[in-house]
Structure 1
Amino acid sequence: MMSATPSLTHVQQKIDEVKRFLAIALSIANAHTVEFYTHDVWSHFMDVAPEEVLSAVITHGVHQREHKCKENATFGFCPESHRLVNIFEMLEAARMHSLPGLGICLSREELLLSMQQICSNSGSSTTNADEFMNSKKSHEVQCMSEIVAHLAQGCQVKQIIDVGSGKGYLSSFLSMQYGLQVYGIDSSSTNTHGAQERDRKLKKFSKAFQQHSKEKKRNTPQGEIKSNNITQTDKRTEVEKTEMPSSSGDDLPNVIEEHLEPDKTNQESSDDLFLNALSLDLIETTSLRAPSSQLTKEEREKRKQENLERKAQNSSSSEGPLFSPITSYVTAETELRELISGLQAAVLVGLHTCGDLAPSSLRMFVAKTELSAVCSVGCCYHLLSEEFDPTGSHAVNGFPLSQYLRDQSWFCGRNARMSACLALERFSHGQGIPMESLFYRAVLHVILRDHYGSFKSEKRVGNVYSKSKSFVEYVRRALQKLELDEAKLPDNEIQGYHDKYRLRMNELQAFSMLKLTLAPCIEGLILLDRLCYLKEQENVSFSALVQLFDPLLSPRCYAVIGLKKNR
C-alpha cells in the first residue's frame, strides 16, 4: 500500500543493535540516583573523572580529544570491570543507537508523501503545521489531527475512536475541523464530562465564527483588498476569517477577540484562533446574553425558533461533526461495539496514552476487525508493566509487545523506563535537570541509613523539596512525613551531611547526564518493539514509526502508525 518503510527483518536487526548496546549500558540507567551515595554508584560504574563526563556531555562531544582506551573496550566500557573508560565512545554509541541515529523513522512529511499513494486528494481541511508552534498542545493537536484525517480519508472511514481522550482537545478538533465522528474514551468521568462541556462551547464558537465568515463574504465588495499598494486577491479569505464579529447573534460576543493582540488579529488564520481558544480555554468564559424577561414578544419568538433550529441541526447525524465522550476503562479485550452503538469502520488514535494503554491500543487494533488504522503516541514508560519483571504479576503486560523480544525474555527495569521519560533534546537546548532536589534525596538516604536503618522509606517522602528553604528544613520535613524521631539529629549534624556530600555533587550530576544520554536509546527500544509487533501481524499491510512533533515542544514525539489490509 505504501513504500519506503522498513521490513520486519530490518526492524529486528535494529532491535538487535540497540540491545547489544543496552546490554552493556542499561545498568547505568537502572541505578537509582536516590541510592547514589549509599551504594557508591560512581566508583562502581565509572573509571573516568566526573569533570570529563560533564565536559563531554555539555559540549555534545564536539571537542573530542585523543583518548586511548583498552583495545577490547566495547561502546566505551571495559569488559572486565564493566566500568566506563571512554566517555566519548559511549556518547557516540548512544547517539547511533537512538531512533534518529538508527535512521528507521519516517518524518511527518515523508508519511504524508507516502499516503498520497492511497489518497491523491488530501482534502481542503489540511493546514500548515508551521502556523501552530505557539504552544505545546495546539502543536500536538494540529499535527496529529492532520495525519489522522489522512488515515481516515485513505481508509474511507468517517469514525474515529480516541482512547485516553482526556480533556478532549484532539477529539474536538478532529470533529469540528475535519468533520469526523469521534468517540473519545477515557477512564475518568471528570475528564469525559469536562470534554463534553468544552466541546459544546467550542461548537458555539465555531458556528458563530463560520456564520460571521459567511456574512462577511456576502457583504464584501467584489473589488480586491489592497495592502501596502500591493493587490492581494488571494488573501481576501484569510483576512475575512481572522476578523472577529462584534455581534454574531450567538452566545459568544467578543471573548476570543479580547484576548488577541490588535496587531495580530489580521494575521492569524481561523485555525489559529480555534487552537488558541482550545489551548487557553478562553471559550470557558460565560457569555453575556439578555434574559428572556428583557426581550419583546417578537424577540422571544425569534430566539425560540433559533433554538429549535439549532437543536434540530445537532440531532441530525448527517448535519455537521459529532464528538461523543465515553467513560470506560479499556483494554485489548474491550468490545468496542458494546461501548459504541452504530460503530462502523474506524481509525483508532491515542495522543500520549499512558503506560500500558498504548500497547493495549495496538493489540486492540490488530484484534478488532472494525479498526482500519491506528495512530498511537505513547508516554509514561515508567508505568509500563513488563512480562519478565521478577516482581511483576500482570496477566497481560505492556512490554515487550513483539514476539521477537518476548522470545528473548528481554527486561528493561523500572528505573531504566523512568530514564526513558527524560528529554535529551530539551537539555541540549538549555533546560537542565533539577540537580539540587536529586542531591537532597540522595543525601537524605544516607541519613536514613546511618540513623534510622531505613533504605526504602524515603520513597514516601513526596515533594517536600518545593516547600523547603534549606537542606535542614528539607530533612526535618521529610522525617516528619516519615513519622521518624527528628530529635536525635541536631541541625549542625544535618548540615554536616550536606557539606560533606556537596563536595561530591559533581559525581551525581555527571551520572545523571549519562542517564539522560541513554534515554533516547531506551525509548527507541520500546517503540521498535511496538513497530516490530505490527510488522509481525498478517492482517497489517503498513506500519511505521513517524516523528510527528517537534521534540522541543513535545519530547514524546513519535507515533506508531499502522493500516490493515483491504478486506
Structure 2
Amino acid sequence: MNNKKSHEVQVMSELVDKIANYCGIKQVIDIGSGKGYLSSFLSMQYNLKVYGIDSSNINTNGAHERNRKLKKHWRAYQSRARANPKSQRLEKANDSPVQNEIKFKAVNERTLNNSCLQSQDQRTTQDLVPSCVFTEVTTSETSKQTEIDLVAQAQCNESELSEEALAILNVLPADAVEIFSSSQCNSEELCEEEKAQRKMASIKAKASKSSESNLYFPLTSYITAETELGDIITDLEDCIMVGLHTCGDLAANTLRIFTAKPEIKAVCSVGCCYHLLSEQYENQEDCTEEVWGFPMCQYLKDKGWCCGRNARMSACLALERIAVGQMLPTDSLFYRAVLQVIIEENYGVTKSERHVGKIFSKSSSFLDYVRKSLKKLELDDSKLPDSCIMDYYEKYKHRMNELEAFNMLKVVLAPCIEVLILLDRLCYLKEQCFY
C-alpha cells in the first residue's frame, strides 16, 4: 500500500471497529473490497470476521495471493520472535549467578559493618537478632531484585519485538496469525494460578481457531441494489456493511441494500468516481434503468434534478491538493480539449463508449498524442495530415490560460457538487426512516 491508502485503511478500520463494538457485532461485509487491504486489516487488527466482495476475479485472486505471501513472512517472523526471547533468557540466566554473588557479598559487607557498630553501642541488639537473619534478608532482597531485573528486561524485549512486528501486523490477514503467548518466554516466573489461567485461555483460543480458521474470505460477485447477500454468504448474520472507495453506483446500491436488509445493522461507505454515477434525468431517451445512482431521495426526484457528467467530474477534484501547491495538469487537459474539437469537427462523433485513457504520459508531442488517441478510439487517423492536426494546436494554444482559469473554477465548486451528492444520499436514508 502507498502512504495514502495505508492512512485511509487505518483510519476507516478504527471507525468500523468502533461502530461494530457499539452495535455488538463481529461480522463485516466489505463491498468492492479490491485486493483486500481494508478487509485483511479489519480481520487481523480487530479480530472481525470479514467477507470481502469484489466484481473482479483478478482482484479476488490477488487478495488470495497476497494472503499466501503474508502468511509466509509471518511464519518467519514468528520463528525469530520465539528464538529471540529464549536466547536472551539463557544469557540472563548464565550471568545471574555471578551478579547475585557480587550483590550478595556487597550487602553482606554492609550488614557486617552495621552489626559491628551496633554491637559496640548496644550489645542487646546482637543478642536479640542472630547473624543468620541478616543473611536470609540479604538473600531474599537479592533474589527479589534479580527477579525484578528479569521481568523488566523481558518487558523491554517484548516491547522491542512488538514495535518490530507492527509493520507486518498492520497488513496481515487474520488467518496468518497463530497463537503466540508471552508465557512461552517467562512461564517459569508465573505462579501456578497464572499458568492455569493462560492455559485455559490458550485452549479456548485454539478451539475458536479450529472452528473458524480464517476470518477473511475474499469472494467474487457483482453487487446491485437487488443482490441477495444470503446467496453469497451462507452464514450471514447481524453485520456492518463497509466500502472504501465504492465506485459510481456501487455506493448508492450499498445504501439501498442497507435499508432493505434487517440483518445489516450499520453502514460505513466512502464513495468515489462520481462521474460514473448513472443519472435519472440525464439523456433520458438512452436510459432503460430503473435504479439510479443520482438522485436517490424523493425530494430531488420531484424537482427533476440533474448534475451532468461535467459537474460530476468536477466533484472528483480535490481542492485540498491545489491548496498545498499540487496544480492541475494543464497541458494534458489542453491536449484533451483540442482532441475533442478535432474529433467532433472531422468525425462527427460527440459521444463514444471508448476512452482515451492515460495517453498523455506516453506521448512525445501533441501530434503523437492525437495519433495514438485516434487509434485507441478506432478512428481512421489517415484522413488527417500532420499539418491539419498542428493547425488545431496553433489555433487554440493562446487560450490555455482560459482553460486553466476554467479548471480552477471547477476545483473551487467541487466541494459544493460533492456535498449535493452526499446530502442526496443522507436524505434518502432519512426518507427510509433511518436517523
Do the two structures share a fold, i.e. TM-score over 0.5? Answer: yes
Task: Give 1:490 shift.
Answer: 4.6
Partner of 1:4: none
CA distance 1:180–1:448, shift in 2 (3 Å)? closer
Task: Give 1:387 shift.
Answer: 2.0
CA distance in 1, matches of 2:208, 2:381: 64
State the number of aligned residues: 343
CA distance in 2, matches of 1:210, 1:202: 12
CA distance 1:206–1:534, shift in 2 (3 Å)? farther
Q: Does 1:527 align with 2:400?
A: no
Task: Using structure 1 for the length normalisation, give the TM-score.
Answer: 0.54
CA distance in 1, matches of 2:353, 2:288: 25
Partner of 2:392: 497
Q: Does 1:184 align with 2:52?
A: yes
CA distance in 2, matches of 1:487, 1:407: 48
* Residue from 279, 292, 317 that aligns with 1:386: 279
Contact 2:71 2:172 in 1 (8 A): no
Partner of 1:238: 159
Task: Give 1:475 shift.
Answer: 3.1
Q: Does 1:351 align with 2:247?
A: no
Partner of 2:211, secondary structure, is coil
Partner of 2:99: none
Task: Give 1:215 shift.
Answer: 6.0
CA distance in 1, matches of 2:320, 2:390: 35
Task: Give 1:406 shift.
Answer: 2.3
Letter in 2 for 1:173: F
Letter in 2 for 1:530: R
Q: Does 1:154 align with 2:49?
A: no
Partner of 1:198: 66
Partner of 1:316, secondary structure, is helix
Contact 2:248 2:273 in 1 (8 A): yes
CA distance 1:336–1:451, shift in 2 (3 Å)? closer
Letter in 1 for 2:421: I
Partner of 2:362: 467
Letter in 1 for 2:211: S
Deviation digits for residues 319-360 of structure 1 (CA, Å, limit 9, x no counterpart): x65111111112232222222122211111111111111111
Letter in 1 for 2:23: C
Contact 1:355 1:384 in 2 (8 A): yes
Letter in 2 for 1:145: S
Partner of 2:211: 317
Contact 1:186 1:329 in 2 (8 A): yes
* Residue from 397, 412, 416 that aligns with 2:292: 397
Partner of 2:52, secondary structure, is strand
Contact 1:186 1:328 in 2 (8 A): yes
CA distance in 2, matches of 1:484, 1:215: 67
CA distance in 1, matches of 2:238, 2:359: 50
CA distance 1:332–1:393, shift in 2 (3 Å)? same
Contact 2:9 2:37 in 1 (8 A): yes
Partner of 1:173: 41
CA distance in 2, matches of 1:467, 1:214: 50
Contact 1:213 1:241 in 2 (8 A): no
CA distance 1:373–1:235, shift in 2 (3 Å)? farther
CA distance 1:176–1:485, shift in 2 (3 Å)? closer
Contact 1:162 1:183 in 2 (8 A): yes
CA distance 1:208–1:381, shift in 2 (3 Å)? same
Letter in 2 for 1:525: L
Task: Give 1:462 shift.
Answer: 4.6
Letter in 1 for 2:265: S
Letter in 2 for 1:443: V
Task: Using structure 2 for the length normalisation, give the TM-score.
Answer: 0.70
* Residue from 218, 223, 248 that aligns with 1:330: 223
Task: Give 1:166 shift.
Answer: 0.8
Letter in 1 for 2:62: G
Letter in 2 for 1:484: D
Moved more, 448-457 or 425-434: 448-457
- Which runs of 5 or more structure 2 residues have no equivalent in the other structure? 93-146, 174-205
1:541-560 equivalent positions in 2, closer than 5 A: 541=435
1:36-435 equivalent positions in 2, closer than 5 A: 135-206=3-74, 209=77, 213=81, 216=84, 237-243=158-164, 270-275=165-170, 316-318=210-212, 322-389=215-282, 390=284, 391-435=286-330
Partner of 1:366, secondary structure, is helix
The structure carrying a bigger helix percent of its residues is: 2
Deviation digits for residues 240-262 of structure 1 (CA, Å, limit 9, x no counterpart): 2134xxxxxxxxxxxxxxxxxxx
CA distance in 1, matches of 2:79, 2:270: 35
Deviation digits for residues 412-432 of structure 1 (CA, Å, limit 9, x no counterpart): 111111111112211221222
Moved more, 504-513 or 453-462: 453-462
Larger radius of gyration: 2
Instruction: Report which structure shows greater RCO (CA 8 Å, sep ≥6).
Output: 1
CA distance 1:480–1:163, shift in 2 (3 Å)? closer
Partner of 2:231, secondary structure, is helix
CA distance 1:471–1:190, shift in 2 (3 Å)? closer
Identity %: 55
CA distance in 2, matches of 1:468, 1:321: 47
CA distance 1:321–1:211, shift in 2 (3 Å)? farther
Partner of 1:239, secondary structure, is helix
Deviation digits for residues 21-59 of structure 1 (CA, Å, limit 9, x no counterpart): xxxxxxxxxxxxxxxxxxxxxxxxxxxxxxxxxxxxxxx
CA distance in 1, matches of 2:304, 2:412: 25
Partner of 2:338, secondary structure, is helix
CA distance 1:512–1:459, shift in 2 (3 Å)? farther
Letter in 2 for 1:185: I
CA distance in 2, matches of 1:336, 1:452: 46
Letter in 2 for 1:316: S
CA distance in 2, matches of 1:413, 1:425: 23
Letter in 1 for 2:325: G
